Amino acid sequence: MPKSLISIHDFTKEEMLHVLSIAQEFEKNKVQPILRDKVIATLFFEPSTRTRLSFETASNRLGARVIGFSDAGNTSVSKGETLKDTIKMVSNYVDLIVMRHPLEGAARYASEVASVPVINAGDGANQHPSQTMLDLYTINQTQGRLTDIKINMVGDLKYGRTVHSLLQAMSHFEPDFTFTAPDELMMPQEYKDFLNAKGIPYRETRELEGNINDCDILYMTRVQQERFTDPMEYEKVKNTYNLTASMLAGAKENMKILHPLPRVTEIAQDVDDTPHAYYFKQAENGVYVRMAIIAYLLGYK
């Protein structure tokens, strides 16, 4: 079975660092068409324009051609074809598959039936490892290191898969966490148990103000309506946090604000003009990191 990237656990610490260093190379020299004779499939069983464009840009920058679909609506999948049959067929056409699927575990299963590497671009609320890798890349870029970073994670810490994966990935690098969330969206116990077992310090708070000045990274998240089964619960918490420029007066000089995007109301527009805003650069970094993941899985780097 070829090496795939389905969950952030599939990469060792060394592999993470290796891929991050390849991404640095790609950022310095964006035109490296090393995959000129390759075809990459982007199979999006649920739409995600942002992620798909990032992967397709990465593939194109590497010189590969891209085939695929952006929505399962008009494909044989909507006619009842099994995931196995779709993947078996496509893996005979291409050299690598990028896939996003609304069901959890879909990408893991695909990687077991595919004859080519699979990159998970999101499987329901489960994993989205390329997002985690670009978060690591951006933290390293803004702080000059990955070790000993103070991170304040804000917003939906209960359903937000990006914060869960980032927490697990950062656990290799002696971080210090603050979890800022309303009672309904606190970090699940299993992740706190994980940190306890590793001896990694964290504290929990409901207040955003008063927890901005001592962190290196302020990791903001959107409260995603689609993750809620109870609409009342969503209404109660959707506008809990609203970061504005005036709240950043006492922040450390090196402090950067990250956000997986798209944002709604959690970061005000006036924050964009402060030197702390870094989320657009973070999104750009996604392209270099995805180039690195693709090149690594295909054995080119």
Partner 1 sequence: MEKGSKELKVSAIKNGTVLDHIPADQLFKVITILGLKDCPNQITFGMNLDSKRLGKKAIIKVADRLFEEKEINKIALVAPDAKINVIKDFEVVEKKVLRVPEQIVGIVKCANPKCITNHQPITTKFETEFEDGVLKLHCHYCEKNTSSENIKIITEN
- Based on the shown chain and the rule CB under 8 A, indicate whether residue 7 belongs to the binding site for partner 1: yes
Considering the complex, state which of residue 108 and residue 192 has its C-beta at the smaller distance from partner 1.
108
- Based on the shown chain and the rule CB under 8 A, indicate whether residue 81 belongs to the binding site for partner 1: no
Q: Which stretch binds partner 1 (CB under 8 A): 101-109, 234-242, 264-272, 282-290?
A: 101-109
Whether 110 and 83 have beta carbons less than 8 Å apart is answered as: yes
- Based on the shown chain and the rule CB under 8 A, indicate whether residue 94 belongs to the binding site for partner 1: no
Whether 39 and 150 have beta carbons less than 8 Å apart is answered as: no
Considering the complex, state which of residue 78 and residue 82 has its C-beta at the smaller distance from partner 1.
82
- Based on the shown chain and the rule CB under 8 A, indicate whether residue 160 belongs to the binding site for partner 1: no
As measured in angstroms, the least distance from the Cβ of 109 to partner 1 is: 5
Considering the complex, state which of residue 102 and residue 201 has its C-beta at the smaller distance from partner 1.
102
Cα–Cα distance, 30 to 264 (Å, whole number): 31
| Interface of this chain with partner 1, residues 221 to 280, rule: CB under 8 A | none
Q: Which stretch binds partner 1 (CB under 8 A): 97-105, 140-148, 235-243, 266-274?
A: 97-105
| Residue 281: C-alpha distances to residues 108, 206, 215 (Å) | 30, 28, 19
Cα–Cα distance, 23 to 29 (Å, whole number): 10
As measured in angstroms, the least distance from the Cβ of 185 to partner 1 is: 18
Classify 239 as helix, strand or coil: coil
Cα–Cα distance, 226 to 172 (Å, whole number): 31
Cα–Cα distance, 160 to 187 (Å, whole number): 9
Whether 191 and 227 have beta carbons less than 8 Å apart is answered as: no
- The residue from 67, 89, 103, 264 that contacts partner 1 (CB under 8 A) is 103
Q: Is the peptide bond before 262 cis (omega within 30 degrees of 0)?
A: yes
| Interface of this chain with partner 1, residues 104 to 133, rule: CB under 8 A | 104-106, 108-109, 123-127
- Based on the shown chain and the rule CB under 8 A, indicate whether residue 102 belongs to the binding site for partner 1: yes
Cα 220–chain centre separation: 13
Which residues would be at the binding site for partner 1 (CB under 8 A)? 7, 82-84, 101-106, 108-109, 123-127, 190
